[in-house]
With several copies, the nearest count.
Chain A
Amino acid sequence: MKERLDEQTMALRVARELQDGWYVNLGFGIPALCTNFIPENKTIFFFAENGLLGFGRNADYDEAGRLGWRYVDAAAHPVLPVPGMAVFDYAEAFDMIRGGHIDCTVLGGLQVSGKGDLANWRLPIYKGKGGTIGGAMDLAACCKRVFVVMTHTEKSGKPKIVRECTYPLTAKGCVDLIVTDIAVIRVTERGLTLEETAPGWIAAEVQELTEASLEVSPNLRVMEL
């Protein structure tokens, strides 16, 4: 088997897309690792849907205790305040999302379709009303840009970039960019464009592991890592 990028490297690659001054939401899992890869000369304001804007790194247990657990993110992890941070309530936070004020959300994915549909909130095996939708649908439907970072295939090898999502949908036609452990793929009105491959991978090998068809960019290049 060819070598694939690890989670930290995927996070590094997608973090490079975040522009100076953006207000950015990071989902749980790999997206949250992006905080490790923001260079010092970039200011990114991180948004948490429970009412924080411009917060700092995760606090450890002692730090959190000293702060009286004053600031936690949407995953309930304590975080450190940084100068210029703002606190508000859930209503304001979802106005920010729904109103299209968030520049970018980086989300994990279970499936992305050729049209940029995203499925990421529940596995399809369960048929009941349960699951945990949370803010995923809001973020995917309303942020200015939606970047998905995920492994290219399921553990079984089944492609996650598909013609049509078969898992319960999070939002239709919302995804702008997909970063996986073997490729960077942009979603445009014409479909999916393969822009980068991981070191050691060629376009045909990426297409092999992708159900939806990929157009290869004339500027296809190897990811710089």
Chain B
Amino acid sequence: MPVNKVVQSFDKAIADIGDGASIMVSGAQGPLGVPRNLLLALRRKGVHNLTLITATGYRSVSAARFYGFPHAEDWIDHGILIDNHQVSKVICAMAYVPGRDSILQKQYEAGEVELEHLGHGPFIIRMWAGAAGLGGVYQPVGIGTILEQDKEKRVIDGREYLLEMPLTADFALVGADKADSYGNLVYKGTGRQYGPIMAKAARVTIAEVDEVVEPGGLAPESIVTPGIYVQKVVRAPPEVCK
């Protein structure tokens, strides 16, 4: 059978995601790379107790306002799952600005949501360790800070390091520019961001892309995420958000 990873609807693409799943979602800076329609499908489905592994613990409404997008209040990113109370744990690089009316802060302080606030480098290196099959890595960031808590510290060659454990997930939802039907992905500009690392770190990766091409439609050297890391591809309708 010719392999074809293209799925015809967003609801079908996320059909296997159930209550209690762990999910990495790309997106943080700018409108590119956010798998908006997959997130909307997940909100429609209403699954609960999700573990959300994302850059931030909030919806980037202020960024959307900055861009001057009409309807910035309706900005869609991973934050909609927190806002909709579908998340029971957040693992992120940036949690929230205390006191700035954060929905996550309220849920966290009410005991509704568990929070792991990692900082950016540790967030990324843990996903990388998960993607690359490592048992753990010693990294130098966070010495003398709150990140030391509960972590093994070790001096190697005269420098201090913290042991970080691998982070994987049941699913990754990533936004990309183009896919072929084998799941090979290319990204546009800084829309690349977390796509490559999350696609590698999750067991099942679902990509929302602007364009689907036949195998051969992407030059072999230009492929950023090889199809081995991608299980499903779904095409976004043109220009939902602008």
Identify the A interface with B (CB < 8 A).
20-21, 23, 41-43, 45, 47-54, 61, 64-65, 67-78, 81-92, 94-102, 117, 122-123, 125-126, 128-138, 141-142, 168-172
Contact = CB atoms under 8 A, between A and B. Distances in A.
Contact of A171 (B67, B125, B143, B196): B143
Nearest to B184: A86
A129 B195 contact: no
Q: Which of A131, A133, A136 has the most CB of B within 10 A?
A: A133
Given A49-B120, A70-B188, A86 B141 contact: no
A20 B223 CA distance: 22
A41 B31 CA distance: 34
6 contacts: A50-B193, A68-B32, A69-B67, A137-B120, A137-B145, A171-B144
Interface size range on B against A: 35 or more
Contact of A101 (B32, B66, B68, B229): B229
Contact of A130 (B1, B63, B117, B217): B117
Given A76-B30, A89-B192, A96-B228, A133 B133 contact: no
Nearest to A140: B141
Contacts of A142: 121, 133, 140-141
6 tightest Cβ-Cβ pairs between the two chains A and B: A83-B216, A84-B215, A70-B189, A126-B98, A138-B121, A72-B30
Contacts of B67: 61, 64, 69, 76, 78
B121 A98 contact: yes
* Interface SS of B by simple majority: loop
A72 B228 contact: no
B29 A73 contact: yes
A94 B105 contact: no
Interface stretch (B15-23, B79-87, B89-97): B89-97
Q: Which of B119, B139, B142, B217 has the most CB of A within 10 A?
A: B119
Q: Which of A72, A101, A126, A169 has the most CB of B within 10 A?
A: A72
Given A132-B96, A133-B117, A135-B121, A87 B30 contact: no
Q: Which of A45, A128, A170 has the most CB of B within 10 A?
A: A128
A99 B226 contact: no
Nearest to B242: A65
B196 A91 contact: yes
B32 A137 contact: no
Nearest to A77: B66
A199 B235 CA distance: 51
Q: Which of A42, A51, A74, A122 has the most CB of B within 10 A?
A: A51
B120 A98 contact: no
Given A87-B189, A128-B108, A168-B145, A133 B66 contact: no
B31 A69 contact: yes
A122 B196 CA distance: 30
Given A64-B67, A84-B215, A99-B130, 11 more contacts: A87-B189, A98-B132, A98-B133, A98-B140, A99-B200, A130-B102, A133-B118, A137-B142, A169-B145, A170-B145, A171-B145
